[in-house]
Amino acid sequence: MKFDLIIRGGNIIDPKSEVHGLRDLGIKGGKIVEVGTDLPGAHAREIWDLAGYSLMPGVIDTHTHVRGPAHRMMAKAGVCTCLDMGAGRSVFEEMPERGCGLNVAALQTIGPFADKTPSNGELDGLVEGALQAGAIGIKLVGGHRPSTPEATAAMIEAGNRAGAYVAFHVGSTETGSNLKGLLEAVQLAGKNHLHIAHVNSYLRGLIKDPVEEVVDGLLSLKGKKNLVSESYLAIINGTGGKVVDGLPQSHVTRNCLRMRGYDPTEAGLEKAIADGYGLVQIEEGGETVMVTGARGVKEWKAKGSDVGMSFPVNVPESTFLCAVKRDESGKFIVDAISTDGGSIPRNVAVENGLTLVRYKALTLDEFVYKASTRGAQMLGLHDKGHLGAGADADITVLDMAHGRAAMTVVGGKVIMAFGIIYGKGGTIITTRKGLPVAKAVGLPALEVNVQEMLLYTKTSE
């Protein structure tokens, strides 16, 4: 048989291949081998008729947290490929059991160093440890658990020295998870390569009017070819409820409490949850749900305060402008639309991205670019982010009438259709150093070269 599968009748949206309109996709061995009209059905083992649906290259979410229920939640939201921001090897160890067929890359958190600058040797060891744990690089969690500016710069430098991926939730002991932290991050990066995580979340109006903050924040990123970034389209944030010595461990959580006049203490956090402002994440029915009020307090206490939490603190103006703002040459200032979702219930890149399309704030091509094509470049995945011949058959099938993902297809296999999960396991995206981890957990690996990722290639764009 020439094809394992022909997908007929779909409206293809593929900005990279400049294909827009009705085409058939011929798939074999998990790859798209032919794009055309009226591909011969007699040559296919299977045919799907997707007339009425739009097909985009599979969504690539460049900021996620891949714990337990995340796989299911992402597959339902149309995500084919994701980058976990910080959990490292534990992400892969869960995949045989919890995975739903997605392609997953991970970073591993290093630090914090709040009162010393570690030696280069120590930092090099930590970066190497992350790579050997299967991560493609490191994540710095400044905004939650800050390091000194000097230690932060040293960590960024160490990641670059190793040619690893380096992402940063901005903020140091001198700043915070805010505009100041963002401006500082650009300075601390210097000429080093750095992924600035969820840009929108620093622009919540903590320092001045949020729109003025967005202007300053985006200007600081504009034209910086050593920086890549993403932003998400949700009002709730993601943080933690863990209390240590009477204080919320995460500085982001403390910020959220201050923003609405609560004490940044254990008591203040309890009151914020009781009042319905603090949302506690729990797993129910295989997915994360958020509970608040008396139930929220009960769950928070039952878990010894160590729960994921969200607060409705993002500013719509900031999320909107980060998603749509271009520079004079027409290039988006923030590279990608992400979600900072996964196990945090806000996997809304498709849902809210298509809302921007309906509002004509983005064209459909631009949405696909920001939700898939650019993400493929960010992860150095040459065979993803487009639907041309030779591409991996990773496809997000869009139900445009309802503004959501109808099906998620990875490597020519359905992992989700109409809310039902079919996928299992998944593929580990890792560097050569991480291949033994994939082998140890018994999942296939997709080897990538960090030097081919936008983080390092943007300077030659």
215 burial type by CB count under 10 A (0-12 exposed, 13-18 middle, 19+ buried): middle
How far is Cα 353 from Cα 338, in angstroms, rounded to an integer? 10
Angle made by CA atoms 313, 195, 85, in degrees to the nearest 5? 65
For Zn ion, give the closer residue by CB, 5 or 197.
Answer: 197
How far is Cα 407 from Cα 80, in angstroms, rounded to an integer? 10
For Zn ion, give the closer residue by CB, 3 or 311.
Answer: 311
CB 192 within 8 A of CB 310: no
Q: What are phi and psi of 119, to 5 degrees?
A: -70, 160
- Looking at beta carbons, which residue is closest to Zn ion? 340
For Zn ion, give the closer residue by CB, 82 or 364.
Answer: 82
Q: Under the criterion CB under 5 A, does residue 371 sit at the interface with Zn ion?
A: no
Number of shown-chain residues binding Zn ion (CB under 5 A) = 2
CB 447 within 8 A of CB 430: yes
Q: Which residues pair with 309 in a beta bridge?
A: 239, 280
Per-residue interface string for the shown chain with Zn ion, residues 47-86, x marking contact by CB under 5 A: --------------------------------------x-
For tokens 């603090």, name the residue. 278
Kindly state the smallest distance separating residue 359's Cβ from Zn ion, in Å: 26
For Zn ion, give the closer residue by CB, 11 or 339.
Answer: 339
Sign of CA dihedral 213, 187, 310, 249: negative
Kindly state the smallest distance separating residue 228's Cβ from Zn ion, in Å: 15
For Zn ion, give the closer residue by CB, 85 or 376.
Answer: 85
For Zn ion, give the closer residue by CB, 141 or 179.
Answer: 141
Per-residue interface string for the shown chain with Zn ion, residues 85-114, x marking contact by CB under 5 A: x-----------------------------
Kindly state the smallest distance separating residue 294's Cβ from Zn ion, in Å: 28
Kindly state the smallest distance separating residue 197's Cβ from Zn ion, in Å: 6
Site for Zn ion in 322-341 (CB under 5 A): 340
Instruction: Look at residue 159 and give its three-state secondary structure.
Output: helix
CB 257 within 8 A of CB 263: yes
Site for Zn ion in 277-316 (CB under 5 A): none
For Zn ion, give the closer residue by CB, 168 or 332.
Answer: 168
Site residues for Zn ion per CB under 5 A? 85, 340
